[in-house]
Amino acid sequence: MKLFALLAGAGAATALLGWPRHGILARWREARSAAARIRREDALKHLLKCEANGSPATSLSLGGALGLREGEAAALLRDLEARGLVSFAGGALALQPDGREIALHVVRAHRLWERHLAEETGVAEARWHRLAERQEHRLTPAEADALAARLGHPLSDPHGDAIPAPGGELSADDGQPLNAIATGQPFMLVHIEDEPEDVYAAILRLGLRPGMRGYVMGRSTAALRLWIEGREVELRPSTAQQLSARELHAVSRADLRGERTLADLPPGARGGVIGLSASCRGAERRRLLDLGFVPGSVVEARFASPAGDPTAYEVRGALVALRRDQACHVRIAAEGEVAA
């Protein structure tokens, strides 16, 4: 009897461990091979980004990007070479067509997923990148295409990076570092680097988003003062290095100074809508557009609720209540203020 129980126990343990596909061993092997695949894909992605930006990739830069030791990075490159994904043939590390295809898909999946999180969910902005880092290895090319179709074939992700077309080219990062923009020159933020995570979170807390317009008010070695969408923002030059901007020549500093947000309007005052802030995305943005907060609309602040928030605004003949954090998203040029 005892022997029988022992045998049954051993049998059960073996099954638990060694069952094809669902046993612990099989699961472990699967997880290990998935981890190896993820690392290969991350490496190819790094190579593609280096190639697009014209900076040569080395095993050193790869190690830095993936957090690997020198030996590990070299081993990874040998593995990629053996699979015919990269080659050293021209004297420098270069992607082979198969490797480029995988890398492009991973970048595309990542940016599409970030776009999806921004447009179709309420997931907090600081988590987008990390979730997309995981999802980029799970989406198949067909799923990525379906996602792109559902999102209306977007051209850029929420950080301002271009989403490559399948089989297309990865374009180089747009714009120049914010630190290189001259003081007083109007600019538009075009890109925010989402790594490292803590610096990115700090940028989000400052409320900076791609698409915002402003100019540098002044700079010292310790700080950069920006005028951006109707307010002043101060950040460290090392943080500013994570931001890229494009110079604007059709906009004057006076235009930017005259910009305010709907939240600044006292009851009884009017303003003309210039546009919606880039920090307002997805369903929220579409809702504001549908309500008539489009460039050219004249908005009058009417009255605040007894608790002070929300406030009722008259826009295109309708009375609409907005909360303060929404009103902050509507950029206006103050018009002739009507006495309250």
Closest CA to 156 of 211, 100, 214: 211
What is the closest distance, in whole angstroms, from the C-beta atom of residue 116 to other proteins in the complex? 12
Closest CA to 190 of 223, 160, 215: 160
Minimum CB distance to other proteins smaller for 218 or for 272: 272
8 A C-beta contact, residue 130 and residue 197: yes
Between 64 and 103, how does the x/- string for binding to other proteins read (CB under 8 A)? ----------------------------------------
What is the closest distance, in whole angstroms, from the C-beta atom of residue 281 to other proteins in the complex? 10
Identified binder of other proteins from the candidate list 90, 97, 308, 336, rule CB under 8 A: 308
Q: Is 316 in the site for other proteins (CB under 8 A)?
A: yes
User: Residue 304 burial by CB count (10 A; 0-12/13-18/19+): exposed, middle or buried?
Assistant: middle
Q: Is 326 in the site for other proteins (CB under 8 A)?
A: yes
Minimum CB distance to other proteins smaller for 23 or for 310: 310
Identified binder of other proteins from the candidate list 5, 307, 339, 340, rule CB under 8 A: 307
Q: Is 141 in the site for other proteins (CB under 8 A)?
A: no
Identified binder of other proteins from the candidate list 306, 336, 339, 340, rule CB under 8 A: 306
Diameter of the chain measured on Cα atoms: 96
Between 153 and 172, how does the x/- string for binding to other proteins read (CB under 8 A)? --x---------x-------
How many residues sit in the footprint of other proteins (CB under 8 A)?
A: 40
Q: Is 32 in the site for other proteins (CB under 8 A)?
A: no
Identified binder of other proteins from the candidate list 291, 300, 334, 335, rule CB under 8 A: 291
> From CA 265, how far away is CA 330, in angstroms rounded?
11
Minimum CB distance to other proteins smaller for 40 or for 331: 331
What is the closest distance, in whole angstroms, from the C-beta atom of residue 297 to other proteins in the complex? 7
Q: Return residues touching other proteins (CB under 8 A).
A: 120-124, 152, 155, 165, 276, 282-284, 286-292, 294-297, 302-303, 305-310, 312, 316, 318-323, 326
